[in-house]
């Protein structure tokens, strides 16, 4: 219990995604009187439409890939046709069943989270929250609806998330032109899915649908997919996409996307037309920050509508905090939760460590996955940070060979001094599970030699991390120079 006072600190949290959930739970555990206002469901977009459903879809895509690729390992389905000759079975995906499963899983997780909050003593109110100055939140039934509650607070956490950005020229109709939140209603596999936008969201869905057997065309406005990622990683993914039969149209901006009967037509900037059965619009997100009383309370926002926060998640108004995608920090569930927890620790006088975005680990769930942490090669190349880069292809890893894994690599980035690990990239199946040692090394300022000294299992994909660290060894004579 952080508060030594008789009077409980009153905290109102608006939005129940990872940012709001973590803020509410941490505050209740610290003994505050907590109310959480959420308009759709606890868990937020992360659980109901974004992270959980997309990663569940990807789990099915991985299963389809494993079945398809098992022939190479000498394992295949065998069935005899009427003539007695072996048939060549194909992977069949029941998209309706798959989507039902992922929506059920998302709802169950949301229910679990609501129960956890209630058990911790959080008062969860369903409704639309809005700041009323800097000391109260009103709760209503939605835009134009009635307010039915008003809650006074000592501190508030605004964690209202973001929604898919749409373009007037490519308006989703919910049937064939879809945002990712509408994709899970599909009953049948799209015969040809056009994905507009090759950021993380577009790349993940393109990868998954291609693995599930749909024909996919990825419309990428940049010269390569995943323009903000490590260039070598993006090259691997683009190569895998193309080998898997995906059409990648680079330097191609979708000017319009319209329905034509049972087809969709995407017209590119240069006049080319792409016809498909469905189109996913994945061109980024917009924060849900308008009309929620921020201006009246004096909370500063950026021109893009993101709430300005410092490293303890405090806004320009001292008793109002903000967490997650509605802020200008990285839009990741892990960052949202950390901001939510940090905000209430700060408000309630518990130990706080200002958030260091430099060390955030993230993962792109394509096949193979791309996990990234710390400084990246481009910062070494442009001189922002001094350091050395070493890349070890997975094709040299014994376990990878056994498993038939050809694509991927481990890249370590170390400082020039003693070889302190400052960053890394792992491209591999389940890279998300392999990146933690690098995160620990960076957080604990371990050198490549210290990482190399830790035992890796033989054979294992993780041993490529040790091998890369060995290759970057700083001789004792060099270490003692500085
Ligand atoms: C397709 C996709 C996949 C992703 N995958 C990953 C991943 O694998 N890993 C990862 O770390 N991140 C991932 N992300 C990012 C992640 O979803 C976000 O960073 C995360 O959801 C942010 O959490 P949040 O709490 O800020 O907001 P949200 O999860 O968006 O929750 C905000 C909540 O606030 C509610 N709300 C809004 N306004 C009000 C109001 N006025 N009153 C009451 N309630 C309100 C909304 O209904 C919503 O429930 C993904 C994003 C997308 C689009
Ligand atoms: N695995 C994960 O952790 C995960 C998954 C999805 C999203 N996210 C988070 O969400 C953030 C946003 O990612 P995102 O992919 O949704 O958005 P984004 O803004 O990163 O990418 C959208 C892309 O669409 C392109 N674009 C815009 N208009 C276009 C047009 N008319 N035609 C073709 N392309 C067009 C943009 O140039 C951009 O490259 C990520 O940075 C990440 O933090 C995380």
Question: pLDDT digits over 31-57, tens only?
Answer: 999 999 999 999 999 999 999 999 999
- Quickly count helices (H) and strands (E) in the chain: 15, 23
Q: Residue 188: count other Cβ atoms within 10 Å of its Cβ.
A: 11
CA of 217 to the centre of ligand 1 (A): 27
CA of 456 to the centre of ligand 1 (A): 36
Residue-wise pLDDT for 394-445, tens only, equals 999 999 999 999 999 999 999 998 999 999 999 999 999 999 999 999 999 9
DSSP, res 173 = -
The protein residue with its alpha carbon nearest to ligand 2, atom 11, reads 331
Residues having CB within 6 Å of any atom of ligand 1: 14-20, 37-40, 44-46, 50-51, 54-55, 128-129, 159-162, 180, 201, 288, 292, 324-326, 331-334, 336, 365
pLDDT given for residue 1 in this prediction: 57
Phi, psi of 123 (to 5 degrees): -90, 110
pLDDT given for residue 478 in this prediction: 83
Q: Report angle CA 400, 404, 409 to the nearest 5 degrees.
A: 40
Contact by Cβ (8 Å): 189, 176? no
Quote the longest CA-to-CA distance of the chain: 84
Shortest-distance ligand to the CA of residue 224: 2
Q: Report angle CA 77, 460, 409 to the nearest 5 degrees.
A: 90
Beta bridge mates, 279? 177, 194
Q: In angstroms, rounded to a whole number, what is the distance separating the alpha carbons of residues 194 and 49?
A: 20
Name the residue of 164, 283, 369 whose CB sits within 8 Å of the most ligand 2 atoms, as the mutation to test its pocket: 283
Name the residue of 14, 16, 17 whose CB sits within 8 Å of the most ligand 1 atoms, as the mutation to test its pocket: 17
Name the residue of 284, 306, 370 whose CB sits within 8 Å of the most ligand 2 atoms, as the mutation to test its pocket: 284
Q: In angstroms, rounded to a whole number, what is the distance separating the alpha carbons of residues 274 and 267?
A: 6
Low-confidence ranges of the chain (pLDDT < 70): 1-3, 482
ipTM of this model? 0.98
> Is the dihedral angle over the CA atoms 206, 233, 106, 289 positive or is it negative?
negative
CA of 202 to the centre of ligand 2 (A): 6
Atom index in ligand 1 nearest the CA of residue 21 equals: 25
Shortest-distance ligand to the CA of residue 282: 2
CATH 3.30.390.30 in the chain, residue ranges = 368-474
Q: Does the annotation place 20 within a ligand binding site?
A: no
Instruction: State whether CATH 3.40.50.620 applies to domain 177-283.
Output: no
Contact by Cβ (8 Å): 50, 17? no
10-47+100-163+286-358 folds as: FAD/NAD(P)-binding domain (3.50.50)
Contact by Cβ (8 Å): 125, 149? yes
Q: In angstroms, rounded to a whole number, what is the distance separating the alpha carbons of residues 325 and 332?
A: 7
CATH 3.50.50.60 in the chain, residue ranges = 10-47+100-163+286-358, 177-283
Name the residue of 197, 219, 238, 266 whose CB sits within 8 Å of the most ligand 2 atoms, as the mutation to test its pocket: 197
Q: Which two tokens stand for residue 291?
A: 């009309």
CA of 227 to the centre of ligand 2 (A): 9
The protein residue with its alpha carbon nearest to ligand 2, atom 13, reads 200
Q: In angstroms, rounded to a whole number, what is the distance separating the alpha carbons of residues 383 and 394?
A: 28
The protein residue with its alpha carbon nearest to ligand 1, atom 1, reads 50
Q: pTM for the full model? A: 0.97
CA atoms within 13 A on the CB side of 346: 25
Contact by Cβ (8 Å): 186, 278? yes
Q: Does the annotation place 187 within a ligand binding site?
A: no
Q: In angstroms, rounded to a whole number, what is the distance separating the alpha carbons of residues 134 and 319?
A: 8
Q: In angstroms, rounded to a whole number, what is the distance separating the alpha carbons of residues 417 and 151?
A: 54
Shortest-distance ligand to the CA of residue 56: 1
Contact by Cβ (8 Å): 344, 30? yes
The protein residue with its alpha carbon nearest to ligand 2, atom 34, reads 197
Helices 51-69 and 95-119 cross at an angle (nearest 10°) of 140
Domain 368-474 is in which class?
alpha beta
The protein residue with its alpha carbon nearest to ligand 1, atom 30, reads 161
Q: How far is CA 240 from CA 221, 237, 245, 369, 427, in A?
A: 19, 5, 9, 11, 12
Q: Does the annotation place 198 within a ligand binding site?
A: yes
Single out the residue of 202, 197, 199, 204 nearest to residue 219, CA to CA: 197
Q: In angstroms, rounded to a whole number, what is the distance separating the alpha carbons of residues 261 and 250?
A: 27
Q: Does the annotation place 417 within a ligand binding site?
A: no
pLDDT given for residue 476 in this prediction: 85
Contact by Cβ (8 Å): 385, 447? no
Q: How far is CA 100 from CA 53, 78, 96, 173, 210, in A?
A: 10, 29, 6, 21, 20
Residues having CB within 6 Å of any atom of ligand 2: 196-202, 204, 219, 221-222, 227, 253-254, 282-285, 330-332, 362-365
Residue with tokens 């997919």: 225
Q: In angstroms, rounded to a whole number, what is the distance separating the alpha carbons of residues 209 and 68?
A: 14
Q: Residue 345: count other Cβ atoms within 10 Å of its Cβ.
A: 20
Residue with tokens 């940049």: 222
| DSSP letters for 216-270 | EEEE-SSSSSSTTS-HHHHHHHHHHHHHTT-EEETT--EEEEEEETTEEEEEETT
Pairing of strands 162-164, 254-260: unpaired
Single out the residue of 443, 478, 256, 477 nearest to residue 360, CA to CA: 443
Measured distance between the N- and C-terminal CA atoms of the chain, rounded to whole angstroms: 46
Q: Report angle CA 246, 251, 254 to the nearest 5 degrees.
A: 80
């Amino acid at each position: 219990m952080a508060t030594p006072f008789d009077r409980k600190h009153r905290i109102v949290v608006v939005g129940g995604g990872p940012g709001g959930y973590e803020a509410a739970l941490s505050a209740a555990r610290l003994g505050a009187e907590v109310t959480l206002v959420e308009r759709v469901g606890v868990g937020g977009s992360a659980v109901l439409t974004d992270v959980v459903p997309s990663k569940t879809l990807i789990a099915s895509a991985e299963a389809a890939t494993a079945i398809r690729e098992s022939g190479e390992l000498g394992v295949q389905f065998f069935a005899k046709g009427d003539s007695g000759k072996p048939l060549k079975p194909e992977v069949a995906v029941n998209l309706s069943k798959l989507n039902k499963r992922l929506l059920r899983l998302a709802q169950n997780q949301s229910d679990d989270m609501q129960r956890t909050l209630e058990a911790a003593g959080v008062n969860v109110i369903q409704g639309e929250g809005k700041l009323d100055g800097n000391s109260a939140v009103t709760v209503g039934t939605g835009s134009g609806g009635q307010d039915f509650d008003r809650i006074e607070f000592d501190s508030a956490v605004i964690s209202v998330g973001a929604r898919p950005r749409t373009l007037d020229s490519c308006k989703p109709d919910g049937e064939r032109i879809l945002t990712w939140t509408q994709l899970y209603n599909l009953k049948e596999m799209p015969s040809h899915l056009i994905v507009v936008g090759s950021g993380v969201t577009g790349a993940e869905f393109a990868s998954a649908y291609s693995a599930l057997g749909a024909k996919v065309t990825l419309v990428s406005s940049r010269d390569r997919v995943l323009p903000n990622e490590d260039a070598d990683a993006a090259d691997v993914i683009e190569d895998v996409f193309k080998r898997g039969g995906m059409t990648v149209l680079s330097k191609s901006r979708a000017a319009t996307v319209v329905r034509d009967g049972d087809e969709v037509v995407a017209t590119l900037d240069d006049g080319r037309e792409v016809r498909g059965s469905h189109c996913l619009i994945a061109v980024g997100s917009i924060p849900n920050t308008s009309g929620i009383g921020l201006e009246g309370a004096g909370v500063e926002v950026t021109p893009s509508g993101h709430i300005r926060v410092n490293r303890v998640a405090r806004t320009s108004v001292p008793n109002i905090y903000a967490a997650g995608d509605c802020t200008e920090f990285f839009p990741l569930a892990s960052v949202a939760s950390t901001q939510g927890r940090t905000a209430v620790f700060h408000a309630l006088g518990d130990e706080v460590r200002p958030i260091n975005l430099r060390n955030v680990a993230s993962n792109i769930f394509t096949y193979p996955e791309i996990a990234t942490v710390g400084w990246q090669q481009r910062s070494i190349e442009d001189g922002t940070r001094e350091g050395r880069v070493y890349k070890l292809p997975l094709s040299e890893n014994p376990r990878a060979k056994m498993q038939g894994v050809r694509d991927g690599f481990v890249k370590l980035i170390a400082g020039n001094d003693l070889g302190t690990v400052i960053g890394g990239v792992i491209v591999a199946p389940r890279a998300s599970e392999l990146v933690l040692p690098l995160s620990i090394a960076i957080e604990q300022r371990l050198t490549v030699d210290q990482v190399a000294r830790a035992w890796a299992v033989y054979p294992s994909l993780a041993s490529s991390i040790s091998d890369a660290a060995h290759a970057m060894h700083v001789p004792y004579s060099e270490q003692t120079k500085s």
